Amino acid sequence: MEELKPDVQQSKYHPLSFEEFQELDATLTSIGAYLPENKAPYIWDNFNRVRSENEPRPCSCGSAGGHWKRAVDHLHNWVKERK
């Protein structure tokens, strides 16, 4: 007998909900060349979440700037692909 598969299409925003996607988009839009320190945990948590990773959060000092740029760039691209 043929196996029945559920006809449920996974959201294009997965692992985020649509509301979380909108919040991430708005947050990224508000970030310029400077990442506010109060947004750093939110950015890093979402960076890990959309990649299904658990990479430790770097410090917010200037020497970790490359890590933060990588996270913001990845999230910008991830959001852009889903708009």
Q: Which residues contact 49 (CB under 8 A, 6 or more apart)?
A: 15, 16
Q: Identify whether the C-beta of residue 27 lies closer than 8 Å to the C-beta of residue 55.
A: no
pLDDT of residue 7: 42
pLDDT of residue 3: 53
Residue type, 67: H
Residues of the chain with confidence (pLDDT) below 70: 1-10
pLDDT of residue 9: 53
Quote the pTM value. Answer: 0.85
